[in-house]
């Protein structure tokens, strides 16, 4: 897999991004920690064997343009949409981690016709987005860890209830692994990469089918791993009572 790193002028901003693969485009949006940049997605870049993966540094992060104050999630969404247009991505899917998920939500809410599907990994959200999410109607996979103390599990249920076309997958506690603790739970794309990659592959291959959960079966299906649809359950996935 060959990954190229490039920079492009988008309006008044210079945006740094990584590009890999061929196929339908997928935009990867990282979180807000000061050290985060596109490289947090390296464990997920094998997606490039089936998709065109575009992983930018958000404004104020990595090698992208910096200003006195980091742009808020609305400004970030505007910049990412401009980047998508600059790169002629057309209709694309988005994977957002942490605050990147909040940016992804705003992008999908503002330009729903440009977004095919969403994957929210331990995503944050703005309270003002919740009422708008009822009308978004984009297939959405929501992935959280049971023990996340940064983006807590209750936020996953808030997002699931707000997005009518969503599916929630809850992974086992990260802190059970002696290498990690709850502070790392919100970085699932790194510390649960095999599971997350498997879930994302399965979801993006047929997003509309993956969210079709009959309401009367919700309790049984809540938290089940997508791979169970194919006859086996991924290691570490749990069902939520």
Question: What pLDDT sits at residue 142?
Answer: 97
Sign of CA dihedral 114, 119, 125, 130: positive
Domain ranges of the chain: 3-230
Question: What pLDDT sits at residue 174?
Answer: 81
Question: pLDDT tens digits for 79-103?
Answer: 999 999 999 999 999 999 999 999 9
Whose CA is closest to 111, among 83, 144, 150, 151? Answer: 83
Section 139-153 average pLDDT = 92
Section 54-81 average pLDDT = 94
Question: pLDDT tens digits for 165-217?
Answer: 999 999 988 877 777 776 776 789 988 999 999 999 999 999 999 885 544 44
Beta strands (DSSP E) in 11-150 are 13-20, 24-29, 51-56, 92-97, 115-121, 140-145
Question: What pLDDT sits at residue 212?
Answer: 57
Question: What pLDDT sits at residue 241?
Answer: 33
Phi, psi for residue 145 in degrees, rounded to 5: -105, 150
Section 51-70 average pLDDT = 94
Between residues 238 and 202, which one has the greater pLDDT? 202
- Whole-model pTM: value is 0.86
Question: What pLDDT sits at residue 186?
Answer: 77
Q: What does the block give as tokens for 54?
A: 């575009």
122 CA to centre of own chain = 8
Rg value, the chain, Cα: 17
Between residues 149 and 140, which one has the greater pLDDT? 140
Mean pLDDT for all residues in the chain:
87
Question: What pLDDT sits at residue 13?
Answer: 92
Q: Please, what's the b/e burial string for 165-202 (b: 16 or more CB within 10 A of its CB; e: otherwise)?
A: bbbbbbbbbbbeeeebebebbbbbbbbbbebbbbbbbb
Question: What pLDDT sits at residue 161?
Answer: 94
C-alpha to C-alpha distance for 180 and 190, rounded to whole angstroms: 11
Range in 10-19, 47-56, 124-133, 208-217 with the lowest mean pLDDT: 208-217
Please give the CATH superfamily to which domain 3-230 belongs.
Answer: Alpha/Beta hydrolase fold, catalytic domain (3.40.50.1820)
Between residues 4 and 241, which one has the greater pLDDT? 4
Give the Å distances, CA to CA, from 158 to 77, 108, 126. 21, 18, 11
Question: What pLDDT sits at residue 220?
Answer: 46
């Amino acid at each position: 897999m060959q990954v190229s790193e490039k920079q492009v002028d988008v309006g008044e901003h210079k945006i740094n991004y990584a590009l890999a693969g061929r196929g339908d485009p997928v935009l990867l949006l990282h979180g807000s920690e000061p050290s985060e940049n596109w490289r947090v997605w390296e464990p997920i870049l094998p997606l490039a064997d089936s998709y065109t993966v575009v992983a930018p540094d958000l404004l104020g992060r990595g090698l992208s343009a910096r200003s006195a104050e980091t742009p808020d999630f609305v400004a970030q969404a505007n910049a990412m949409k401009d980047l998508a247009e600059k790169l002629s991505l057309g209709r694309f899917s988005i994977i957002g981690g942490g605050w990147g998920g909040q940016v992804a939500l705003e992008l999908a809410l503002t330009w729903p016709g440009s977004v095919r599907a969403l994957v929210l990994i331990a995503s944050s959200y703005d309270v003002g987005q919740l009422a708008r999410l009822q009308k978004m109607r984009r297939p959405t996979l929501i992935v959280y860890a049971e023990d996340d103390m940064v983006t807590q599990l209750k936020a996953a249920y808030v997002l699931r209830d707000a997005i009518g076309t969503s599916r929630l997958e809850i992974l086992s506690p990260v802190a059970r692994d002696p290498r990690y603790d709850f502070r790392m739970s919100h970085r699932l794309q790194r510390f649960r990469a095999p599971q997350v990659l498997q879930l994302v592959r399965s979801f993006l291959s047929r997003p509309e089918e993956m969210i079709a959960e009959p309401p009367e079966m919700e309790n049984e299906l809540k938290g089940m791993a997508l791979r169970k649809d194919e006859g086996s359950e991924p290691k570490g996935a749990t069902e939520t009572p």
